[in-house]
Chain A
């Protein structure tokens, strides 16, 4: 038996793919997460009120999601409802994260696969070569990405490990000067993002031509909490879609154990979830499959084109990336809308009294529904659970790797296209390994 080990790059965190081949047959495909820090144990004994500062450190890419989820979990335990302006600012925070993340995933993680490059920064470094005209792709991508981080800063204080969400609401509103500057910045970034996305679509179609497939397109269940129209990322209900894209099951974070099955993985520091033993997928494709409409003009155009061309629900994994583009455009448009509402109100947080107990919090992170579960005794954290969106995709990633491996392995040879295919498959799911292992 031959074991092929592929290091991974252009994903968040440390992981590798292992494929076992025997006599021309692919025996197994595994995604092995190789890092671990141990947050579920290391927060034991920490004062509960420090969780919104400590848990963002699970991940510097997804820190916003952990920050808001930690606050929502404590609010669940203390019985606190934040005022509407705070919910709006939290939604802006999550949209900022979505912009940053989808821009990073599309343009820095997966665009190089479409352009045949090792890194988007090669477009900048190669001063004299044929890439000179394409240098602006890298610079525009950084600009769009920075629009997301600036929005997180405006709504959250700082763009990595934000601070403004607190139990009861947010520390303060966003002053009109900042709002105006931010809105103008996003208005400028929107056409740039659309132009980059249009180019990305073109390059993706070319990739499809070259390799002859959009990847594993067997049906799967889908999990998302954004809703059927005008997606909300700061939501409360998790939905599971069946193979036909119909909402099959809905539950709150508190009930997740009755609906999802979580298991540790022998060969990886990340766990995995499944829905009644079925392969399940979270992240952009899940949310787009769920969406009747996005509720904003340009995003709805892109959504309609996508659904006309690929059907609904769409299952092929390389379509995940196209869905991220639709969400990038949506997030920019929706942020402009929210920034037109008053955000400088005086009462941005209600008072609260901490108490012991057990509770759950959930947000839709860019990679899917994120759940935190804490139990507090004497004001200290006793037990925690983190259900990370990437773990919803583990079975799906390994199945997609199997489909890809079978294309490139036979009794005569292993094609080196497999090396590139492994990277494309894993990146399609945009996993976050620091989060998944935590």
Chain B
């Protein structure tokens, strides 16, 4: 039986919880290391290493570098491992200073100056975006299911229908009460970016009535393009489907909630002098 290990760096455990919901691995793989559920403290040689969470402390750095030496294949699971994730919001200069001075502790792992993606330090064979990736997606990354291809966009998987007659004037959002079933969220005045977000999650959020925030990152059409291409494309969608003023869309698009996920394949905040060759993740490696 093949062996796999799950290494959690500075993350929330969501990716691990997602894995626990996918029982299929038990028939094909032995779980060799996963401190959340197994009291094993030394990572043995494994076929696949799943890494979640970002590099937040010097202990994360040590654990990551030590672990990848034991693995034949390394998979970056979730937004945090791919681009720093939610902790990246703390990398804004004004926050970081406050953060590093207020949280000094001695004899504990030292916090790194910024929350870094794992491929800033080690080679990664496969990137699995999602916050967290669904159990089905985690299995696909683990098994390398031949012929598995995630749907191209969330919009494609959504199932809500476009209502040509509904053209909202403003991004009203949840101020107006409950969400109508079956009708596209853009027509109802929500900023849904599912049209350019990588599919594969079966559009669980939009089906439940919540606009897509892009946690799987840009679809293949946008993944290697500049951010302006993406902004322009969203504006075009809203102009054709709604009467919301472009300035309103523009203001909403420049938001922490979207920034967390949108730029996870091109690390726009990386230091150009050091990281320029690594600043794009090739779309062939993204599931």
Chains A and B bind each other? yes
Interface residues of B in 140-199 (CB under 8 A from A): 173-179, 181
Which residues of B sit under 8 angstroms from A158, Cβ to Cβ?
204-205, 208
Given the complex of chains A and B, what is the CA–CA distance between A159 and B257 in angstroms? 19
Instruction: Mark the stretch among B11-19, B219-227, B237-245 that contacts chain A.
Output: B11-19
Q: 1/0 per residue B104-119: CB within 8 Å of A?
A: 0111110100010000
Can you list 30 A-B pairs, Cβ within 8 angstroms, ordered by A?
A: A13-B13, A37-B90, A42-B95, A42-B99, A46-B257, A54-B89, A54-B257, A60-B13, A61-B14, A104-B20, A108-B20, A109-B37, A121-B38, A125-B1, A125-B30, A149-B21, A157-B204, A157-B208, A160-B17, A161-B131, A164-B209, A166-B210, A168-B174, A171-B179, A172-B178, A347-B177, A350-B177, A351-B175, A352-B175, A354-B175
Interface mask (A1-32 → B, CB under 8 Å = 1, otherwise 0): 00000011111111000000000000000001
Kindly state whether residue B56 has any CB partner on chain A within 8 Å. Answer: yes
Given contacts A34-B59, A59-B12, A434-B13, whether A142 and B174 have CB atoms under 8 Å apart is no
Evaluate contact between A160 and B14: CB separation under 8 angstroms.
yes
A-B pairs with lowest CB-CB distance, top 7: A60-B14, A157-B208, A171-B209, A119-B38, A42-B90, A163-B210, A50-B257
Contact at B23–A32, with CB atoms within 8 Å?
no
- Other-chain residue from B17, B95, B176, B205 in contact with A61 (beta carbon distance below 8 A): B17
Given contacts A54-B257, A63-B14, A167-B175, 16 further A-B contacts (CB under 8 A): A12-B36, A34-B109, A37-B10, A42-B86, A42-B99, A45-B95, A47-B257, A50-B256, A54-B89, A59-B14, A153-B204, A157-B209, A158-B208, A172-B178, A172-B208, A268-B105
Chain B contacts of A104 at CB under 8 A?
Answer: 20
Residue among A12, A39, A142, A348 making CB contact with B178, cutoff 8 Å = A348
Chain B residues with Cβ below 8 Å from A53 are: 213, 257
CA of A168 to CA of B111, assembled, Å: 38
With contacts A7-B41, A108-B37, A164-B209 taken as known, whether A172 is within 8 angstroms of B87 at the C-beta atoms is no
Most chain A C-beta atoms within 10 Å of own C-beta, residue among B26, B115, B207:
B26
Decide yes or no whether B249 CB sits under 8 A from chain A. Answer: no
Q: Does the CB pair A160–B18 fall under 8 Å?
A: yes
Nearest CB on A from B16, distance (A): 7
- Tell me if B103 is interfacial: C-beta within 8 Å of chain A: yes
Interface contact A60-B10, CB-CB below 8 Å: no
CB distance from B281 to the nearest CB of A (A): 21
Supposing A37-B56, A157-B204, A267-B107 touch, asked if A9 and B35 sit within 8 A by C-beta, the answer is yes
Contact (Cβ within 8 A) B37 A121:
yes
Taking the closest CB of chain A, its distance from the CB of B133, in whole angstroms, is 10
A309 to chain B, nearest CB (A): 29
A118 contacts partner chain B, Cβ-Cβ < 8 Å: yes
In the bound complex, what is the Cα–Cα distance between A44 and B35 (angstroms)? 32
A118 to B8, CA, bound (A): 18
B87 x A38 contact (CB < 8 A): yes
**Quick one: closest A residue to B59, CB to CB?**
A34
CB pair B205 A10 closer than 8 Å: no
| A124 contact set on B, CB distance < 8 A | 26
- On whether A142 and B210 interact (CB within 8 A), knowing A37-B10, A161-B131, the answer reads no
| A49 located at the interface, meaning its Cβ lies under 8 Å from any Cβ of chain B in the complex | yes
Distance between A373 CB and nearest chain B CB, rounded to angstroms: 17
B103 touches A36 (CB 8 A): yes
B178 touches A347 (CB 8 A): yes
Q: Which of B1-48 contact A (CB under 8 A)?
A: 1, 8, 10-18, 20-21, 23, 26, 30-31, 34-41
- A349: CB under 8 A from chain B? yes
Check if B98 is an interface residue, CB within 8 A of chain A. Answer: yes
Tell me which residues across on chain B come within 8 A of A49, comparing CB atoms. Answer: 173-174
CB-contacts of A412-426 with B (<8 A): 423
A27 to chain B, nearest CB (A): 16
A423 to B35, CA, bound (A): 12
Q: Is the CB of B205 within 8 A of A169?
A: no
Contact B210 A157 (CB under 8 A): yes
Q: How far is the CA of A8 from the CA of B36 in the complex (A)?
A: 9
Q: Which residues in B have their C-beta under 8 angstroms from that of A125?
A: 1, 30-31
B129 within 8 A of A: no
> A14–B109 Cα gap in the complex (Å)?
11
Of A11, A32, A118, A156, the contact of B40 (CB 8 Å cutoff): A118
Whether the pair A269, B108 counts as a contact (CB closer than 8 A) is yes
A409 to B259, CA, bound (A): 53
Instruction: Establish whether residues B208 and A121, one from each chain, have CB atoms under 8 Å apart when the complex forms.
Output: no
B13 near A9 with CB under 8 A, answer no
> A106-117 CB contact bits vs B (8 Å, 1 = yes)?
001100100000
Q: Does A76 make an interface contact (CB < 8 A)?
A: no
Q: Is B37 touching A120 in the complex (CB atoms < 8 A)?
A: yes
Which of B1, B18, B31, B208 touches A163 (beta carbons < 8 Å)? Answer: B208
> Do the beta carbons of A46 and B90 come within 8 Å of each other?
no
A36 to chain B, nearest CB (A): 6
Q: Give A133 Cβ to nearest chain B Cβ, in Å.
A: 17
**A residues within 8 A CB of B41?**
7, 9
| Given A32-B108, A42-B95, A267-B107: A9 and B87 interface contact (C-beta under 8 Å) | no
**B207 contacts which chain A residues (CB < 8 A)?**
157
Chain A residue nearest to B26 in the complex (CB): A124
Residue of A nearest to B173 (CB): A49
B218 contacts partner chain A, Cβ-Cβ < 8 Å: no
Interface residue? B217 (CB, 8 A): no
B235 is an interface residue with CB less than 8 A from chain A: no
Judge whether B209 and A41 touch: CB under 8 Å. Answer: no
In the complex, whether B132 has a CB less than 8 A from a CB of chain A is yes
Question: Are A43 and B209 interface neighbours, CB within 8 A?
Answer: no
Establish whether residues B109 and A169, one from each chain, have CB atoms under 8 Å apart when the complex forms. Answer: no
Known: A46-B257, A50-B255, A121-B38. A269 touches B174 (CB 8 A): no
> In the complex, which residues of chain B have a beta carbon less than 8 angstroms from the beta carbon of A411?
none
